[in-house]
Amino acid sequence: MRRLFVGILIALTIGAVFVWSVSADPGYVLIAWGSKTIEMSVWTAIIMFFTSGWLLYIAVRVWRRTWHFPRFLGGWFDSRNLRLNHSRTTRGMIAFIEGHWRRARKLLVKVAEGSDSPLLYYLMAARSSHQLGETKEMEYYLRRAAESTDGADIAVGLTQAEMQLADGQLEQCLATLIRVRAVSAEHPGALKLLVAVYRGLGDWEQLRQLFPDLRSAGMLSEADLAHLQVEVYTQVIDATVAKEAGIADIEQSWQLVPKTLRSNPALVNAYANALINVGSFDKAEAALHSALRKNWDEELIRLYGLVPGSNPQKQLIVCEAWLRERNNSAPLLLTLGRLSLANELWGKARDYFEASLSFNATTEVYAELARLTAHLGEADRSVSYLQQGLLNATHQLPKLPMPQKTIKS
């Protein structure tokens, strides 16, 4: 700072001396060029010198700006296009989210055509076309997406498969997903869609074969995977019954079920019903008995009473033992009533049915009591049970005026 001050002071001193000298004796400047001479005062020469320097500086600046103008103009246009694309992208995304499909497609296609990464925009344009029901346009933008980016087979395939599934084109969707899995066998998105496709096609065997991939991909929790397995194996068993297969086929289907799931009530129910359907009553009774000992289930105990086993007395004894721990179970009491009928114990059957009715007045119990009392010669009581059962089946009738006359039996 001190040096700067000293420098300025010296410069001012020299300038003052120079000005004083010139004012005392202006002098002159002589310029000779060949036979010509130009004479001027020192002040005029100084002014011309600085003016010429300033004009030269301006000329150089103008020349440099002119030289760089095309680059400047290109940068200005690039900046403008970038701002315009950002605006179109934002407006296109908003239109897409709001469901304005035609506007979204128009904007996103323009963005895609000016983008170095157009894949996402073409896929969104394809989805917009799908929402508009314009199949040709959808297929066109899917092709543009595939052509625009290397390695986009999975993204394009999954997008196409989702739209095919939404349209119920299950076979076409399956073909698309097979192509996707050829690139990535355990892709979570493809597996999720395959579950929906096989479920829609009722191809339970193919869905069953997906379980190892579903587990290794980790796309389902253990609880969700177990739930899916129960659904699939139940359908596999039911499909075996629908084909009018024999007991060997039913047993083969049951062996496919993992041991950890063989006590699941839904699966045991399907298995026991399949055995009952082919007349293998003792196997059905044994399967239900074993399952109920491990995990009590109200639907299974109800089914146990429908099995015409070879030893109904044993079945009755077993159920009466269970009653000591579950004396308020309406399905168990219903089953005890039916097993009492199987053992021709009419009074006991009636008591069990009435006890079941006191806990849960179902149409099924009313029907059993109506049938039993009719065979016992109690016609009025039987009709009363039938009426109550009918009212129970129709749930709640509106309260309307009724005639007071009673019908005599």
Does 60 score more than 90 pLDDT?
no
CATH of the domain at 67: 1.25.40
Q: Is residue 59 part of a domain?
A: yes
Q: Average of pLDDT values for 266-284?
A: 95
| Other CB atoms within 10 Å distance of the CB of residue 31 | 10
The answer to whether 330 touches 324, Cβ cutoff 8 Å, is no
Q: Is residue 77 part of a domain?
A: yes
The pLDDT value given to residue 41: 60
Q: Average of pLDDT values for 45-67?
A: 61
Q: What is the rounded CA–CA span in Å between residue 122 and residue 148?
A: 9
Q: Is residue 264 part of a domain?
A: no
Q: Is residue 355 part of a domain?
A: no
Residue 278 Ramachandran class (φ > 0 left, ψ -120 to 50 alpha, else beta): alpha
Q: Is residue 90 part of a domain?
A: yes
The pLDDT value given to residue 90: 86
Q: What is the mean pLDDT of the chain?
A: 84
pLDDT tens for 156-174 read 999 999 999 999 999 999 9
Residue 115 — φ and ψ, nearest 5°? Answer: -110, 150
Angle between the 330-342 and 363-375 helix axes, to the nearest 10 degrees? Answer: 30
The pLDDT value given to residue 353: 96
Matching residue, tokens 């700067």: 4
Band (pLDDT 50/70/90 cuts) for residue 96 is confident
Does 37 score more than 80 pLDDT?
no
Structural domain of residue 74, as residue ranges?
A: 45-149
Predicted structure pTM score: 0.70
Q: Is residue 321 part of a domain?
A: no
Residue 388 — φ and ψ, nearest 5°? Answer: -65, -40
Q: Is residue 255 part of a domain?
A: no
Count of domains forming the chain: 1
Band (pLDDT 50/70/90 cuts) for residue 113 is confident
Q: What is the rounded CA–CA span in Å between residue 254 and residue 265?
A: 14
Which spans in 295-362 are helix H? Answer: 298-304, 312-323, 330-342, 346-359
Does 338 score more than 90 pLDDT?
yes
pLDDT tens for 185-240 read 889 999 999 999 999 999 999 999 999 999 988 888 889 999 999 999 999 999 88
Q: Is residue 287 part of a domain?
A: no
Does 20 score more than 50 pLDDT?
no
The pLDDT value given to residue 279: 92
